[in-house]
Structure 1
Amino acid sequence: MTDSMEGVVKDESQSQPKEENVHEKTVSDIKFNFTLLERAVAQFDARYTLRALRSISSLRKRLSGEIIAESIISTYPPNNGTAQVLLRATGLDGDELTQIARRISSTSTGSTKQEKKEPLPEIDVYLAILAQVLLYDGKNYKIGAEFSKALVGRVRDLNRRTLDSLAAKAYFYYSLFYEALDPKPPSKQSPLISIRGTLLAALRSAVLRKDSDTQASVTTLLLRNYLSTADITQADLLVAQTQFPEAATNNQVARYLYYLGRIRAIQLSYTEAHDHLVSATRKSPNSAVATGFYQQSTKLLVVVELLMGDIPDRALFSQSRLERGLEPYFYLVQAVRVGDLQGFLKIVQQNSPTFHRDGTYTLILRLRQNVIKTGIRMLSLSYSRISLRDICIRLGLDSEESAEYIVAKAIRDGVIEASIDHEKGYMQTKQAGDIYATREPGEAFHDRILACLSLHDECVKAMRYPMNQHRLELKNAQEARERERELAKEIQDGDIDEDDAAGEFEGL
């Protein structure tokens, strides 16, 4: 009994120093980032600021109100207004803050008890971002929205170029808080609609100041805002009237391409949507943190490929990061591939909550015509003649008239090679005795020509010529002319014979 009690006491004594070490390590990491921000301002180098921002992901798991409060109290002078605002965001009461202040003063040595200087505005904004992260993880959305609104107003008033990267992160959490407050479905009084003016003003200022970080972040936030409230026309106008910065980070480019692909898919521009979504999935980070984005972009890509008439590769659904999330879409692809209309409708009905959550439900409903066309193609390959009534029964259509209309449209679109006997009510498949009598060889030949032309264009673009080669040729020609003048002058002066000169000219 005594041995077990001693073991428990020993475990508690070992765990307590470990927690204290984690606490001290987190505070020291935050203060080290203060040094990076000061160096970024002194050298006007944004790389140090980006390094401090990248550390937020590792600090996030260890972050707490006590850690932020200790960082603030040990950095700011007493009765500082900015420090008081930041301390209120931590959610600690007066007694807890007093205890933290006493602990800091008791552990401080004589060398550290010097008069504290006013920190840089970059440090203020960095600590405010940490407070935003703490509030968002604690699901204090209303308090976080009010705090973020004041923060972006302060950043806008400061107007410092060394704050550009920090401002982009502040606007990100500002939009995220209001999105969390938004009701489902969004209404006309939606909080998301109320922040559009602030985001548009931030985008206008970022473009005028050539702030690529804030411009890229706010552009993606506005597109997300418009898509959340189904304002596709306004999102399209934003894309048409703005230019995404070339110097944007890879993550922002991936997000922009994803939203652009969603807009084009809704507008029925499936080819453009497919190109954008392929680029977004390729630019998606490989870390486990970005698995959700990779899954979401892949889900939309699968639906767009089905709408284009293509069948995604089966190996796509076997990836470890996608296998579980894409399971409903795998069954959907199987139903579309075989043209099973009843199975397709059953899968859509069973997984409608998942499709609604992913934002692909309306696009999936468009696949009904593709499933019917695939089913008609399968029937045309299986039967040389089939009645419209049997087609109606097999495909689960409402009436023979609708079956006749769908078959006629499939014939016109070139899906099948057949004819309809309207009087007797059946579909007669054309027997292609000679494959060269059909349009298939011509289409294949056309595709090969396009492939060769595109390959030629890519080869021309990939050509590289030596730099300043023409200048080298001009220099050699000029040296030759100067040598001729020297030889002619030597002949006139009598320093060289004509035979020797002829040999020199032959060499030239």
Structure 2
Amino acid sequence: MPEDVEMNDSAQPAPVAAPAAADAPAPAPALSTLQHLKEIASVVEAGSLTKEVRRISRAVRLTVALRRRLAAPDVAAFLAFALPASSEAFTRLSPLLPKEDGSEMDVDAAAPAAQVSIKHGLPEIEIYCYLLVLIFLIDHKKYDEAKACANSSIARLKNLNRRTVDVLASRLYSYYSYVHELTNSLAEIRGTLLGLHRMATLHHDELGQVVLRP
């Protein structure tokens, strides 16, 4: 009778090796700040064309989340993308931005993202550009330029009556008051604020009425 043979542990089948890390798909490259702004603009465009206020609100939230990454070259490049060079908004907004070295722009040249295009001439896009520039100028303590931007944005809003603009307008009203407070000129705009409140009431702009309530 043959003797029992004890199997050594070394005789057991070797475990299957885990796939090499190199086989895993590489993570997608992070979007540049400019590309983020372009995609936010596409959200604004969609809200404008479909008359969906919630899309405009989402664009504002995305912008607030991005504001710490904004640099002057990014904002300047976005204006060139979003506004016709011959437009009044482009002419007013571009000179307000500080001139910086274009090399500072947050662009991922190694892995360019898909191209985004938008329809020019939409009031929502134009007002979004005013809001973006105003946020940037306030964050960078360019208060005189921010005041000029705020005044221009209010002058433009007086000619608009669109519910999809109301979300952007309510933010501009807040920053308009804030930047005049920062520059000790709040008393200069009290009459304007009252006029804006009357306009918001006539236009059934509920968000504006709340922000501008005396």
TM interval, short-chain normalised: 0.7 to 0.9
Q: 2:52 matched to 1:52?
A: no
Q: CA deviation at 1:26?
A: 1.9
Q: Is the contact between residue 145 and residue 177 of structure 1 (CA under 8 Å) also seen in structure 2?
A: yes
* Alignment partners' CA distance in 2, 1:122 and 1:148: 16
* Alignment partners' CA distance in 1, 2:40 and 2:165: 14
- 2:35 — aligned with what? 28
* Alignment partners' CA distance in 2, 1:119 and 1:216: 28
- 1:39 — aligned with what? 46
Aligned partner letter, 1:61: R
Q: CA deviation at 1:202?
A: 0.8
More helix by share: 1
For residue 168 of structure 2, the aligned residue among 154, 166, 169 is 166
Task: Summarize deviations over 1:321-353 as a string: whole Å, max 9, x none.
Answer: xxxxxxxxxxxxxxxxxxxxxxxxxxxxxxxxx
Q: How many aligned residue pairs are there? A: 182
* Alignment partners' CA distance in 1, 2:205 and 2:40: 22
- 1:118 — aligned with what? 120
- 1:149 — aligned with what? 151
Q: Cα gap change, 1:145/1:75 in structure 2, threshold over 3 Å: closer, same or farther?
A: closer
For residue 200 of structure 1, the aligned residue among 189, 194, 204 is 194
Task: Summarize deviations over 1:217-264 as a string: whole Å, max 9, x none.
Answer: 111xx4xxxxxxxxxxxxxxxxxxxxxxxxxxxxxxxxxxxxxxxxxx
* Alignment partners' CA distance in 2, 1:44 and 1:80: 23
SS of 2:99's equivalent? coil
For residue 98 of structure 2, the aligned residue among 82, 88, 91 is 91
Q: CA deviation at 1:178?
A: 0.7
> Considering only CA atoms, is the larger Rg found in Structure 1 or Structure 2?
1
Task: Summarize deviations over 1:336-371 as a string: whole Å, max 9, x none.
Answer: xxxxxxxxxxxxxxxxxxxxxxxxxxxxxxxxxxxx
The 5 Å alignment of 1:224-303 reads none
* Alignment partners' CA distance in 2, 1:73 and 1:41: 20
Aligned partner letter, 2:42: T
* Alignment partners' CA distance in 2, 1:90 and 1:165: 24
SS of 1:74's equivalent? helix
* Alignment partners' CA distance in 2, 1:129 and 1:86: 10
* Alignment partners' CA distance in 2, 1:197 and 1:165: 22
Q: CA deviation at 1:171?
A: 0.8
Aligned partner letter, 2:166: D
For residue 210 of structure 2, the aligned residue among 205, 210, 216 is 216
TM-score w.r.t. structure 1 length?
0.33
SS of 2:204's equivalent? coil
SS of 1:210's equivalent? coil
Task: Summarize deviations over 1:120-169 as a string: whole Å, max 9, x none.
Answer: 12111112111111111111112211220111110112333321111100
Aligned partner letter, 1:205: M
Q: Percent identity?
A: 28
Q: 2:78 matched to 1:71?
A: yes
Unaligned runs of 5+ in 1: 1-20, 183-190, 223-508
* Alignment partners' CA distance in 1, 2:67 and 2:55: 19
Unaligned runs of 5+ in 2: 1-28
CA root-mean-square deviation:
3.0
For residue 129 of structure 2, the aligned residue among 113, 127, 138 is 127
* Alignment partners' CA distance in 2, 1:131 and 1:145: 11
Q: CA deviation at 1:25?
A: 2.7
Q: CA deviation at 1:78?
A: 4.1
SS of 1:158's equivalent? coil
Task: Summarize deviations over 1:435-483 as a string: whole Å, max 9, x none.
Answer: xxxxxxxxxxxxxxxxxxxxxxxxxxxxxxxxxxxxxxxxxxxxxxxxx
The 5 Å alignment of 1:390-409 reads none
